[in-house]
Amino acid sequence: MAEKRQESGFTVTDRRLFTEDGELRKDAAEQTAPPQTTTPPAAAPVPNQTAATETAPAANLVAAFPAADDGAAGPEIPPAPTASEQQAQADAYRASSKDLDSRVELSGRSAKEFEMTFARFLASLYMTAMLQLGLMHEQGSQPRIDIMGARQSIDTLSLIAEKTKGNLTPTEEAFLQNSLYEVRMAYVEVTNALSRPPQPGAATGTIGR
């Protein structure tokens, strides 16, 4: 049964898939049972590359795309890497990843704990949205509200649902739809609460980054 909490003069219904510490809730685990997310180890030193392919900065690539995606690429978008360039970078990436996996194994952990799966990717977006809504927070820190960031995270989940329609397993589809439902509901509850007049002595959140 969903829990209800009275915070800052309004009621928040706790229907989250995860606890504030990032653990999967017991009742949610019985329905979706996604793999648990883990915190990656400290970044290992990146080995020197004897040859590197220069690429356009990510900001330039993002700016090259129109705000409304009409399916047409503008002339300012740089050409895609050649097949040989992509293969070379893929091989270099696999080599670096193998070296990192070896370091992880030497530390006594299993490299498989840090493999990215679709469920883990969705869980990371879900938890990011909940953090941005102030309904979850990192250990030792106070909740903060970033309503615009939360909307972008929720829209990202919605975009994934649209683009992957018909290509997911039943478990993946259920987990995606449950995550999207929960964050949308939480977003509506938080934005409705923020639009009400502040109550005497109630804490105020920060909107935006």
Domain assignment present for residue 172? The answer is yes
Q: What is the pLDDT of residue 110?
A: 87
Predicted confidence (pLDDT) at residue 103 exceeds the cutoff of 60: yes
Q: What is the mean pLDDT of residues 41-50?
A: 43
The token pair that represents 164 in the structure block? 């992957």
Tell me, yes or no, whether 42 lies in a domain: no
Letter string b/e over residues 182-209, b meaning 16 or more CB atoms within 10 A of that residue's CB: bbeebbebbeebbeeeeeeeeeeeeeee
**147 within some domain:** yes
Domain co-membership, 147 together with 107: no
Name the domain boundary from 97, 115, 133.
Answer: 115
- pLDDT value for 64: 55
Distance CA 107, CA 111 (A): 10
164 & 108 share domain: no
pLDDT tens string 170-183? 999 999 999 999 99
Comparing 97 with 31, which gets the higher pLDDT? 97
Report the C-alpha gap between 183 and 10 in whole angstroms. 18
149 and 106, same domain (yes or no): no
Domain boundaries, position 89: 83-115
Same domain, 87 and 132: no
In a domain, 95, yes or no: yes
- Cα–Cα distance measured from residue 179 to residue 30, given in angstroms and rounded to the nearest whole number: 15
Whether residue 189 sits in one domain with residue 134:
yes
Q: Structurally, how many domains does the chain consist of?
A: 2
Is 7 part of any domain? no
Which has more confidence, 160 or 58? 160
